[in-house]
Amino acid sequence: MSEYGTLQDRVRCKELLSKVMTPEQCIPFFKDGMNLGWSGFTPAGYPKVVPIALAEHVEKNNLQGKMKFNLFIGASVGAETENRWAQNDMIDRRWPYQTGKDIAAGINAGRIRMGDKHLSLFAQDLGYGFYTKDSESGHLDLAIIEVSAITEEGGLILTTSCGVVPEILMQCDKIILEVNIGQPSFEGIHDIIVCDNPPNRQIINIQHTSDRVGTHHVPCDPSKIIAVVESKLRDKGRAFAEMDETSDAIANHIIDFFTHEVKAGRLPKNLLPIQSGVGSIANAVIGGLAKGPFTNLTVFTEVLQDTILDLMDSGKCDAASACSLSLSEDPGFPRFFANWDKYFGKITLRPLSISNAPEPIRRLGCIAMNTPVEIDIYAHANSTLVGGTRMINGIGGSGDFLRNGFLKMMHTPSSRPSKTDPTGISCVVPHCSHIDHTEHDLDCVITEQGLADVRGMAPKDRARRIIEKCAHPDYKAQLTEYLNIAEKECIAKGVGHEPQLWDRAFKMHLNLAQNGTMKVKNWDVKIDLCE
């Protein structure tokens, strides 16, 4: 019994009460090499008690590396589950996005095979069976889904995220349900569409952020459910740094730009639906809008973070749609639960295949704002791989919104510290070490230095604008010198549309690796690349 009722209250399909088990009783269902589907999207709505029990079983019986699984999850989940699994060498493959120090280390050490994918494409490709086509069954072997409740017919009422649960249920053979009674039932917050496969894929007829076009539950065949487990564990959530001078300056540049666009008639007075990615800067941008001049705002995004509550408290947000309610463990979720009636009716949670689908993003005209690792002078962006090789988390949904939005924006600090230099890493470089988003998809680049609106600009003009507006002062002259040299040499050869010198384009990255800073002394190729 919890303050939010009992398991028996939540499980309205009474035939399933005969399948109630403890987490430990579920351990025999798991076999080495299985393909597993989990609910969850960012640290929200993910299964907890069963994965933790399985990790404890591995630790107590010295089974590290002997029970390994392939995990297919909507995005990252709580570190107490997947990161602990990584510590115990329990993960063979992991799709498509993750967080956690140990799982990232396992990926970069080659122990975990990770696949990165635009999230909307991952959802549909999982439903198509692309990721399990080479397995013996052709399906997911087992799914673990956290739910708030189960309807009379066996439909699943999810919790704080929707993730890829509809696609998992299409592909799985057996299901374990964790019924979380440690928080209120989220029945009524979800809008679930189960997409049919082509050529019968239906129209996603979302014309306004608040439109409801589906059901409150995910249809589920009760005969697939092999266990129902009680849980009282809440999401660990995602903690973010407070706004600092850099994030505050970025937010102010964006608000000034929106004000200009409204005056020019290119945006309505209440803007267009806002999409903001994960992370501290994205959180700060939404917080900045709560203090800004715009009212009757709407949010159509993939993740709702703590400052969405500030935006709602300000009275400036009419509706918000996302795949996940990814609040911090404290104060985010306690604040949400304490003001349930104020927030619940304004929020809609949708499956990843809907929240990130190109169709509603383009129809609604979303304003896309995301944070990269680095941006180059021509407006390519790297969101995933530091130095072109070290995976951080994954591309997430940024590409879904940057390719299809009305305004496509990337915001980042102009520099970051290295071990030896407080501005040793320039986030504006001659050429990105890895490219997730091409120049064709970006409209604006923002750092604390300023905002570069590069719409309608040719490559060389775009490069000068980005250096002028966005580069850190320590790097402006250096980047301009590179551009001048590249432009002169490439035009002389008749290849000067987008000048690059491949013997020097990555000299800043090489200098960082060898000397701890991106500040180069000379661009002359005859001089050692890192002198």
Confidence label for 528 from pLDDT (cuts 50, 70 and 90): low
Residue 527 reports pLDDT greater than 70: no
Q: Per-residue pLDDT tens for 158-210?
A: 999 999 999 999 999 899 999 999 999 999 999 999 999 999 999 999 999 99
Q: What is the mean pLDDT of residues 365-387?
A: 97
What does the alpha-carbon distance between residue 481 and residue 253 come to, in Å, rounded to a whole number? 27
Q: Note the pLDDT tens digit of each residue in 82-114.
A: 999 999 999 999 999 998 899 999 999 999 999
The string over 241-267, giving b where at least 16 C-beta atoms fall within 10 Å of a residue's C-beta and e elsewhere, is: eebeebbbbbbbbbbebbeebbeeeeb
Identity of the highest mean pLDDT range in 212-226, 238-252, 282-296: 212-226
Q: Which range among 240-244, 248-252, 268-272, 488-492 shows the weakest confidence by mean pLDDT?
A: 240-244
What is the architecture, at CATH level 2, of domain 245-474?
Answer: 3-Layer(aba) Sandwich (3.40)
Cα 401 to the center of its chain, rounded Å: 11
For 442-470, write each residue's pLDDT tens digit: 999 999 999 999 999 999 999 999 999 99
Q: Which two tokens stand for residue 376?
A: 């180059």
Residue 119, classed as helix, strand or coil, is helix
pLDDT band at 436 (very low <50, low <70, confident <90, very high): very high
Sign of CA dihedral 308, 406, 370, 195: positive
Confidence band for 355, pLDDT divided at 50, 70 and 90:
very high
* Per-residue pLDDT at 531 exceeds 60: no
Calpha distance 65→339 (Å, rounded):
45
The CATH class that applies to domain 7-231 reads alpha beta
**Rounded mean pLDDT of 505-513?**
96
Fold match, 7-231 / 245-474: yes
Q: Are the C-beta atoms of residues 124 and 132 closer than 8 Å to each other?
A: no
pLDDT above 80: residue 128:
yes
- What token pair was written down for 303? 């993740």
Cα–Cα distance measured from residue 442 to residue 446, given in angstroms and rounded to the nearest whole number? 11
Domain ranges of the chain: 7-231, 245-474
For residue 1, is pLDDT > 60?
no
Which whole number is the average pLDDT over 201-226? 96
Residue 253: CB partners within 8 Å, gap ≥ 6? 446, 448, 450, 451
Neighbouring C-alpha atoms within 13 Å toward the C-beta of 378? 21
Q: What is the DSSP code (8-state) at residue 159?
A: -
Model confidence over 388-420: pLDDT tens digits? 999 999 999 999 999 999 999 999 999 999 999
- pLDDT, the chain, mean: 94
The percentage of residues in the chain with a pLDDT greater than 70, rounded to a whole number, is: 98
* pLDDT given at position 99: 87
Q: What is the pLDDT of residue 241?
A: 63
Residue 302 known to be catalytic: yes
Q: How far is the first Cα of the chain from the last one, in angstroms, to the nearest whole number?
A: 68
Tell me, what's the pLDDT at 529? 58
Distance of CA 105 to the CA centre of its chain: 19
129-138, 238-247, 254-263: which is most confident? 254-263
Q: How confident is the model at residue 386 (pLDDT cuts 50, 70, 90)?
A: very high
Is pLDDT of 211 > 80? yes
Q: Which of 82, 230, 302, 439 is catalytic?
A: 302
- The 8-class DSSP code of residue 233 comes to P
Over 60: is that where the pLDDT of 77 sits? yes
Which tokens in the block code for residue 453?
């609106």
